[in-house]
Chain A
Amino acid sequence: MPPRSDLEYWSHSESASAILANLRWTWSHVRAHGRTAALLLIVVHLLLGVQPALLIHVTRHLVDAVVDAAGGGPSGFDDILPWLIAFGLIQLLTNDVMWHLRDVFYLRLEQDLSHVLGRRLLKRSSSLPLLFFDVSETYDRLERARDPGSKLGRLFSNALHFSRAAVTAVSVASMFAPVSIWISVALLGALAPLVLLEIRQSRMFMAFTYGETPEERRAGYVNRILTGRSEQKEMRLFGLHAPLTGRWRRMRQVLRERLLDQRQRQVLVSIPATGFHVAVGVGIAAILAFLLGHRVLTPGRFVALFQGVGDMLHAGGSLGFSSRELQTRSAEVGYVREFFDRPDGSRPETEASPGTDPTSNATLFPRPLREGLVVDNVHFTYPAYTPDEEGRFVLQGVSFHLQPGERVALVGDNGAGKSTLARILLGLYPPTDGRVTADRLDYAEIDPASLSDAVSAAFQDFSRFEFTLGQSIGIGTLGGAHDGPAADLWPSWLQPDMAAVADAARRAGVDELAERLPRGYDTPIGHVLDGGQGLSGGEWQRIAIARAFTRDPELLILDEPAAALDAVAEAALYRQFAELLQGRTALLISHRLGSARMADRILVLQQGRIVEEGRHDDLLAYGGVYAGMWEEQASWYR
């Protein structure tokens, strides 16, 4: 699917109170995590803000002194010298000097913020319930909150820019006050249309330059297909280049014309505002010239204020620019706040380090299991659906009992609810109704960490974990007491339990792969680390299966883990299962019914309900859904 629209993101208009609230929130974080850098930045911007006004003051005296002493020979130089020195010192406050300080402070501030907030974001997102990720509406909140440190840093720096421009505008305007207070007022008043225009235009500009309208997204999607890596073999085989290129060109044409039209309108709108501003500037310069003739102004003041008019023009531009930026930056911070502040059922953030016991008074998963797991009238619906619609329930009253050490196969069509049921048993989804108990203890009461320690799983849509082979298999054992060589990339404690890894690898048939790779289990796999080896789909899947075996779980769930394996490998894997499971409770989900045969019991799931239950032979004799599926598949092999 083409990605979500960002139009809302960029054209988000922020009320002044929302901007203030976001600023206050940003400031509290900036103060807490980067106070020194922030204070230095404030000082730098204040100095930059008053610099033009100071310069006007000094220029006035310097020019007057020079005019007085003109042609009088070198002896008059002593009167000029103090003003010359002051002039030179004020140059120190200009942007091209202060920039060297500003940039360093800003980088540090941003790094500090990114560290603290990035960490918090990672913590929070990994403690969110899995459902948060499965519902687009909530997941988008996380997507929009990405890179929080930079977002806060940008808003803060923007607020500083805005303040700097405001300080400049007010202080420069006040330099005109000794001549006439009305000139100051007129100069400040002339800024208003310019600032308002900039704010108005910024929304159009952002929406059209960076934002994505649905049409743009569609065109972008076609373009990605035309240029992307994975699409190319199909593009060639099916001859899709020519039709898609034609389609893309037509889409672009429409977009271009609209964009250009928008631009032209922008320019037309900006002409009166700019004209007005320049007219005010010229008018004031003419008045200054007139006053000069009446000896109200000295030449120095004339020269200095004349430059002040230019400063005002410049400050107006900065004010407009930074106020429009303030809006977008504030919207960005708003998304970060939304993600951090909104309650969404995440676990409280604890500094649980691996290897230490969770809080002592927490209810732990019963080990070993004595009575087994009971699924009691479990209903489940994804939050995006309204539960009133009966048909939307993925599970509709599922009940069964898993005895300790029992191996149960779950079969059913696509979409019957098998994977959802697996996730509920793993404690990843809370049931919408009904409950799951382990030795009569409700899952809801069991400490999540202890629950996750007690279960293990291999999924059909597994993740690859592109580290070294050993780390990828033993990712669940990292950070134990297994010391290994430290590297730049990882500290010594970041070692998998190599005994467990080697054992699991042997059982899942990854040991051959390890022997073949140049550095064995230390070989990087995938594309993340330098020199990473590409693996085939089947190899990745075996790694995922091995990963499930590195732990010592009470319940092991294999959710179609062999889908990408060839039939021989799958058969071999399932034959080994008895040995692999070592008396653990296991739920096995498979498409290929042949593998279900070795289970102690088979559950047949259809449209969220268990419709049949029993041993293979009994179910065949019963002649129901399972027998039908069996016949269907068996006919392939006759």
Chain B
Amino acid sequence: MVPVESDPILQRPRGPRTLIRFLGWMIRTDPWRAVTSLALEFTAGLLPAATVWIVRELFDLGVGVYQGVAPVTSMLPWLAGWASATLVETGLRTWSRTILLERLKQEMEDRLLKQLQIKSRSLRLDVFERADFHDLLRRAQVAATPGFFLNLLGAIYRILTGGLTVVSVGIVVGFWDPYLFVAIVLVSLPPPLAGLYHNVHEFYLQRRQTQKDRLRGYLESILTERECAKEVRVFGIAPVLFRWWDHLYWQVADPLYRQRRRHHATGGCLSAVSLFAFACAVGWSAWAVLAGGLSAGQFAAMLVALRQVRTGVDHLVNRMSFLAIQLLNIADLFIYLDLGPEEPSRKAAIASVEGRTIEARNLSFRYPQTRRRALSEVTLAIRPGERVALVGENGSGKTTLVKVLLGLFRPTAGDLRYGDLPAERTDRETLWNRSTAVFQDHTRFAFTLG
């Protein structure tokens, strides 16, 4: 096995900690908008409880109106109250979820992209040679895709409002009859638990499958992408690759399906528990009306309340699964942002390298996560103005040596000096400004640099 220095991917992600770090990051990004939108969502989350209260008055009055005890006009203020609660809720949501959130999302995207750019700039170049670097970067960039933050914030807010709705409605109903509060807790607890359990498991299942999944995707890309099209035809390999793809397909798909089914069986049972509590709550309320403890209006309002609670729970559960997955993505992002080692900051560098001899003594270099030394005890000196050609066979380390001499890679052993200065103490940026190189594996920049 190749020795692996540290494997951040296998670290167990911690959801709550990531969430807190993310919220902190969000508030720091744009304090005013973040706090305002949180406050608006908070208010919106409490409105259903107010609605339940209003509806109770309405229904009580309604029964009175029907029985001829109260005039129809007495219902109108409460109707107006109901209408304004509905309007305020819609209005708050529109404002908070579109305009505020859009700006907040933009700020967050910008900040994240800047952070990623700075990270790429400050990471030492040999870190880019890690075998898992590509994976790490790809995962980190998921958060920067358009719509990611919008969906994530939407999920967090829905969970927040859903949770608040459940609690506040529970409290209102608890005022009428304490047992009803207990019933609401029993109604709302089981589904989120099932959802949370499921998502963590599915995530791990998918991660364990990455190799098969990757291979399947790679086979697909060979068969469909331009780059491989000519070899696929010349070597006639399509039929074999199909069969291979077929062989892998259900190996990836079946465990996922079985897992999902098992989860839903658990989830379904928990739902049944919740449903039983729901039926008990309605039965108990009806009983209380017969016994005279509750009014008929309270009973009807209880039906509305239970519905609100279930909608809240529904949001909570649906979004919770989504959030759980997205938080793992955010955790990946933080792993990348914490990745080291970085280039020393410019402040530590003191001197320019101009006009100095480049001296390497017993220089060795090993690519990260590999065992083989790409350079083994190289000693050489290049004087200012000297023209040196480096020749050697493929894979003999020519390019690596150039990259080390330029300070792009840090040697794993040995000594690199520019004149009398150790390489770490020189200003790399001037070194890079004063040197130039054309690489075999160059990048094509598709625009003019102005």
Contacts and interface: CB of A to CB of B under 8 A. Distances in A.
Interface of A: 1-2, 59, 62-63, 66-67, 69-74, 76-77, 80, 84, 87-88, 91-92, 94-97, 99-101, 103-104, 107-108, 111, 114-115, 118-119, 121-123, 125-127, 130, 133-134, 139, 142, 146, 209-210, 218, 221, 223, 225-241, 243, 245, 248, 252, 256, 259-260, 263-264, 266-267, 270-271, 274-275, 278, 281-282, 285-286, 289-290, 292-293, 295, 297-299, 302-303, 306-307, 352-354, 423, 426, 428, 449, 452-453, 455-457, 459, 461-463, 465-466, 475-476, 478-479, 488-491, 494, 527-532, 534-539, 542, 547, 551, 564-566, 568-569
B215 A529 contact: yes
Contact of B83 (A243, A282, A428): A282
B146 A489 contact: no
A66 B59 CA distance: 13
Given A111-B253, A130-B229, A528-B215, A70 B83 contact: no
Interface string B264-280: 11011001101100110
Nearest to A218: B447
B234 A537 contact: no
B121 A235 contact: yes
B364 to A, nearest CB: 18
A3 B388 CA distance: 40
Contacts of A475: 231, 235, 237
B286 A84 contact: yes
Nearest to B72: A293
A457 B233 CA distance: 11
B264 A227 contact: no
A473 B307 CA distance: 64
Contact of B314 (A96, A248, A547): A96
Contacts of B62: 289, 292, 299, 302-303
Interface residues of B, number: 144
Contact of A115 (B123, B249, B286): B249
B226 A134 contact: yes
B420 interface: no
B287 interface: yes
A130 B231 CA distance: 10
B247 A491 contact: yes
The secondary-structure label for the interface of chain A is helix
B42 interface: no
Nearest to A540: B394
Contacts of A303: 59, 62, 300, 303
Nearest to B306: A91
Nearest to A267: B98
In the A-B complex, the 9 residue pairs with the smallest Cβ-Cβ separation, listed nearest first, are: A538-B394, A126-B238, A476-B235, A88-B279, A293-B72, A479-B240, A100-B264, A536-B395, A226-B117
A103 B260 contact: yes
Contacts of A266: 98
B125 A564 contact: no
Contacts of B90: 274, 278
A352 B313 CA distance: 54
Contacts of B233: 126, 130, 426, 428, 452
Given A66-B286, A94-B310, 15 more contacts: A96-B274, A111-B257, A122-B241, A122-B242, A209-B146, A226-B120, A233-B439, A281-B83, A285-B79, A286-B79, A292-B65, A292-B72, A462-B231, A528-B214, A536-B395
B282 A539 contact: no
B385 interface: no
Given A236-B408, A551-B235, A252 B110 contact: yes
Given A103-B264, A119-B242, A239-B432, A256 B106 contact: yes
Interface in B350-389: 367, 370
A542 B314 CA distance: 59
A89 B222 CA distance: 52
Contacts of A494: 240, 243-244, 247
A259 B290 contact: no
A207 to B, nearest CB: 11
Nearest to B269: A100
Given A259-B102, A352-B239, A428-B234, A1 B446 contact: yes
A2 B315 CA distance: 39
Contacts of B242: 119, 122-123, 126
Contacts of A528: 214-215, 218
5 contacts: A1-B446, A88-B282, A101-B264, A126-B232, A534-B370
Contact of A227 (B137, B261, B310): B137
A221 B445 CA distance: 10
Given A74-B291, A122-B224, A221-B446, A531 B230 contact: no
Contacts of B134: 229, 527
A451 to B, nearest CB: 9
A489 B238 contact: no
Interface string B429-450: 1001101110111110111010
Contacts of B246: 119
B131 interface: yes
B224 A566 contact: no
Nearest to B367: A534
Contact of A281 (B86, B211, B237, B443): B86
B227 interface: yes
Given A209-B146, A354-B240, A476-B235, A237 B212 contact: no
A97 B268 contact: yes
B413 interface: no
Contacts of B291: 73-74
B102 A463 contact: no
Contacts of B59: 299, 302-303
Contact of A295 (B66, B95, B307): B66
A119 B245 contact: yes
Contact of A530 (B123, B211, B232): B211
B325 interface: no
B433 to A, nearest CB: 5
A302 B296 CA distance: 13
A229 B133 contact: yes
A453 to B, nearest CB: 6
B283 A76 contact: no
A491 B144 CA distance: 39
A457 B230 CA distance: 10
Contacts of B142: none
B182 interface: no
- Name the residue in A256, A292, A303 with the highest tally of chain B Cβ atoms < 10 Å from its Cβ: A303
A463 B231 contact: yes
Interface string B98-131: 1100110010001001101101110101001101
A598 to B, nearest CB: 22
Nearest to A541: B394
A248 B250 CA distance: 44
B303 to A, nearest CB: 6
A146 B264 contact: no
Interface string B66-100: 10000110011001001100110010001100110
Given A293-B71, A488-B212, A125 B223 contact: yes
Contact of A565 (B110, B264, B394): B394
Contact of B286 (A77, A226, A463, A538): A77
Contacts of B289: 66, 69-71
A532 B218 CA distance: 14
B37 to A, nearest CB: 14
B116 A227 contact: yes
A239 B429 contact: yes
A479 B310 contact: no
A303 B247 CA distance: 58
Contact of A537 (B292, B295, B441): B441
A227 B120 contact: yes
Nearest to A512: B395
Contacts of A232: 120-121, 123, 125, 128
B234 A142 contact: no
A232 B441 CA distance: 12
A569 B393 contact: yes
B196 interface: no
